Every structure is written in structure tokens, then in C-alpha cells.
Amino acid sequence: MTEIDATGLTCPMPVLRLQKVLRDTPSKARVTLLATDPMAKIDVPHFLSENGHTLLDQRAQDKAGPGGLDLLIFEVEKA
Amino acid sequence: MQLGHPKFAYEKGLHQIGNGAYAWLQPDGGWGWSNAGLVVDGDQSLLVDTLFDVPLTLDMLAAYKDAENAAQTINTVVNTHHNGDHCNGNCCCPDARIIAHRATAEHMQAEPPEMMQSFLDAAPDLGEMGKYFTSCFGPFDFKSVTQKLPDTLIDAETTVKVGDKDVHLIPVGPAHTPGDTLAYVPADRTVYTGDILFIGGHPIIWEGPVQNWIDACDRIIDMDVETIVPGHGPITTKAGVEEVRHYMVTMRNEARARYEAGMTYKEAAFDIALGVFDDWGDRERIVINCATMFHEFGAQGKPEIAELFTAMADYAAARPQKD
Ligand SMILES: [Zn+2]
């Protein structure tokens, strides 16, 4: 399973990284995206929905990211 | 400039247009405060749009039932486009056939009410942008909504019957959204325009191209109508349509000059003097409008939604609107 580490990056970088990886990912394959910018809670679901991909799960781990930021974990399935 | 129709006050609730046509208005017409319509003939009824949540839609339906027996059971709902403030209440009409443009149905599915709710849930962590987002969408009860998608899709101009009355569904998008559709009722000399018209507020150009929007305005101006019900704002006349057309032409010129001068869309939005449109509500939408137009002019990609709302929050804070 592919994991994209976009921690420490501000939006829209997490979505751009995800988009790039999904381009080369086979249909139905799963990708995990890690991010710390809270704006990703809006950008990632919106981007996935607009492009027909599935957000299988979204969760946060308190202060588990670099610099003590909350770690956001998005599990994605490519359309 | 007064753009409302002189015959109709801009007050919340039901307005009788006559001959079995009605409008439901929600001042001040800002984010989510949409208008809708009812058309009846004989024992048949058709809604043009539902509202942003279930309580708002149920209030509206109760008023419709008071006004018309034919509205006891709604037979048909037309959604003018996919934004939730025009379709989230579809679930309040369990017996109705729901008609919309194919693109409207597709985008409805991509932007479910649960997503709006999840954004509101995230908003407290999102600083000024979160506050701005909550000020726009916090008043609505998205948890009440069960999405009901259209079951009858149109791809081109289509006429549906309400009793003996014709309702022409006229796709004019992509402009505000991909599936924009006008509902024209010749027998009532009335057109319900959805968000092709924002009266007294800045239109939001989510989609473009702007030329489609200008063409849609021309299409309305060419209709034999007396009463024009916009998606937001007071009931209007063709003078209101001319103003929206004027906005589109003006802003496209202003934005293009700044695109060609090498500005970013955000710089352009802050730089454009709003002139005669300065007293229209929700001025910060110029930010989205510049982003969409820059994309139309050839800019790479479109900004993500968080960036747009952050930039709008910046604009709204920098240029607070006078009441
Ligand atoms: Zn609307």
C-alpha cells in the first residue's frame, strides 16, 4: 500500500501530492495520505469527491505529527 | 439602484405571482438563503428547487399547502442546479419525481450534505477561514438532510406538464454550475432562474465560462415574462437581469486586464474596484470569480476549496461591508 507523507506541508500541497500519486495508481488501489495542515480536512475530501475517488476513512491522532501537530490520516481508494 | 420588482416586497415567505405561480423568498439572499418556486394547475404541483435543510423546506411546504390544495402532495421537483441550497430539501417530497440536468445529478452526488457537515465540524480548527465558513453555513441543519438525488435526467431543453401548463426546462450551463437550468412558465409569464440570477448580491462564478452566463441573461431578456424569480434576492424584472449581465461583462474585462498584467487571481480580486456593484452583498465572492475567470483565461489548475475560502475570509475581513 502506498503512503504519502505530506506532514508539515500546507494546503494545497497535500492534495497536489495525492493527485500526482493517484495519477499513477491502478483503479481500486488504496493510498494513505498523512498530513498536518488542518485545512486538509476540507481540501482532501472535496478533491476526492469531485474526482470520484472514495475516502474510506479519515481520522486524527492528537499531537502525533511532527512539531506536536495533530496527525491527519486519510485512507483513499482510487476510482 | 433598486432592482426588486415593484409589485413584490422582499420579505421572507410566500409570494403569490398569480395564475397558480408562487415564489418563496429568504432574505437577505446571502450564502444558503435561496429562493424557490411553486407552480400549480388543476390538482398538479411542481416545485422549482427545495431549500438548504429539512426544517426550512418543511416550513415552505406547509405554506404551499395552505395556499393550494394541489400542493398537498408535490408531484414534481425540478432542481435548477446542484448546490445544496437548491436541493437538500428534496427528501421532504417523498412522492415526487425529481428532475434535473444530468450534470446537476452528478455533482449533487459529489457534494453530499455530509461533506458540508464535516467541513463545519472541522471549522473550529481552521482559524479565520473556519470562522468565515461557519458564518456562511453555520445557520443550517445539514444533519437533518437525507440526500435524494434526481430520478429523471435531462440533457437538453425539455417541457414538462403541470396540469395543462407547460414548464420549459432550459439548460444554460456550465455557468454558475455545470447543470444550470432555467424553469420558464409561459402561461404565468414567469421564469425561475436558479442561481443564474443573484439580485443585490455578488454572483458566484463557480464554473464558467462567463459567456454562457451572459448568453443565459440574454435568453431571459428575450422571454415574454413579467416576473423573474432569482435564485437569491428579491423578485426582479428584466432591469435586474441587465444588471447581472452588466456585472459579468464588467468583471470579465476587469479580470482579463489583470490576468494579462501578470497578477495572481487573489491580487486581481483585491485590486478590482467594484464600482456600481460595491453595495451588492457578499463582495468577497470576487475572489472565487477571479479564480474561475483566470482559469478560463488559461491559468493552470483551479485553487482548492480551502484556499478559496481562506482568501474570501481575508477579503471579507479587509473590506467589511457597510450595512
Ligand atoms: Zn444558491
The partner residue sitting opposite B304, judged by closest CB among A11, A41, A52, is A11
Pairing status of strand B21-25 against strand B36-41: antiparallel
The partner residue sitting opposite A11, judged by closest CB among B119, B122, B307, is B307
pLDDT interval class at B312 (50, 70, 90):
very high
Per the CB < 8 Å rule, is B305 touching A43? yes
CA–centroid distance, B23 to ligand 1, in Å, is 15
Residue B2 has pLDDT above 90, yes or no: no
Q: Is B304 part of the contact surface with chain A (CB cutoff 8 Å)?
A: yes
Q: What is the pLDDT of residue B320?
A: 85
Q: What is the pLDDT of residue A67?
A: 87
Residue B289 lies in a domain: no
DSSP B9: -
CA–centroid distance, B35 to ligand 1, in Å, is 8
Measured CA to CA in angstroms, residue B22 lies from A41, B38, B293 at distances of 40, 5, 35
Cut 0.80: pTM above it: yes
Residue B293 lies in a domain: no
Per the CB < 8 Å rule, is A39 touching B119? no
Counting residues of chain B whose pLDDT is more than 70, the rounded percentage is 99
- Smallest CA–CA distance from B109 into chain A, residue: A49
Q: What is the pLDDT of residue B124?
A: 95
Least Cα distance to A64 among A24, A34, A20 occurs for A34
Overall domain count for chain B = 1
Three-state secondary structure call for residue A54 = strand
CA distance, residue B190 to nearest chain A CA (Å): 34
pLDDT, mean of residues B19-36: 97
Per the CB < 8 Å rule, is B306 touching A43? yes
Residue B146 lies in a domain: yes
Could you tell me the CATH number of the domain that includes residue B140?
A: 3.60.15.10
% helix, strand, coil for chain A, step of 5: 30, 35, 35
Which chain B positions have a beta carbon within 8 Å of A12's beta carbon?
303-304, 306-307
Maximal C-alpha separation, chain A: 35
Least Cα distance to B147 among B57, B221, B273, B27 occurs for B57
CA–centroid distance, A22 to ligand 1, in Å, is 32
Among B106, B129, B304, pick the best mutation site for testing chain A contact (most A Cβ within 10 A): B304
pLDDT tens per residue, range B179-235: 999 999 999 999 999 999 999 999 999 999 999 999 999 999 999 999 999 999 999
Residue B258 lies in a domain: no
Residue B302 has pLDDT above 70, yes or no: yes
Domain residues for the domain of A42 are 2-77
Residue B305 lies in a domain: no
Task: Check A2, A8, A9, A11 and give the catalytic one.
Answer: A11
Residue B259 lies in a domain: no
d(CA B123, CA A14) in angstroms, rounded, equals 18
Residue B322 has pLDDT above 80, yes or no: no
- Smallest CA–CA distance from A40 into chain B, residue: B306
Which chain B positions have a beta carbon within 8 Å of A41's beta carbon?
118-119, 122, 125-126
pLDDT interval class at B301 (50, 70, 90):
confident
Overall domain count for chain A = 1
Could you tell me the CATH number of the domain that includes residue A66?
A: 3.30.110.40
pLDDT, mean of residues B123-130: 95
Residue B25 lies in a domain: yes
d(CA A54, CA A75) in angstroms, rounded, equals 9
CA–centroid distance, B233 to ligand 1, in Å, is 10
Residue B102 lies in a domain: yes
CA–centroid distance, A25 to ligand 1, in Å, is 36
Per the CB < 8 Å rule, is A11 touching B306? yes
More confident residue, B47 or A67: B47
d(CA B221, CA B216) in angstroms, rounded, equals 9
pLDDT tens per residue, range A18-40: 999 999 999 999 999 999 999 99
Q: What is the pLDDT of residue B290?
A: 98
Among B108, B116, B136, B305, pick the best mutation site for testing chain A contact (most A Cβ within 10 A): B305
Among A36, A41, A42, pick the best mutation site for testing chain B contact (most B Cβ within 10 A): A42
Residue B321 has pLDDT above 90, yes or no: no
pLDDT tens per residue, range B257-279: 999 999 999 999 999 999 999 99
- For B108-223, strand residue ranges (E) read 152-154, 158-162, 165-171, 181-185, 190-192
CA distance, residue B272 to nearest chain A CA (Å): 25
Average pLDDT, chain B: 96
Per the CB < 8 Å rule, is B126 touching A41? yes
The partner residue sitting opposite B122, judged by closest CB among A15, A38, A50, is A38
pLDDT, mean of residues B95-101: 97
DSSP A69: P
Query: Annotated catalytic, A11?
Result: yes
Which chain A positions have a beta carbon within 8 Å of B306's beta carbon?
11-12, 39-40, 42-43
Which chain A positions have a beta carbon within 8 Å of B302's beta carbon?
none
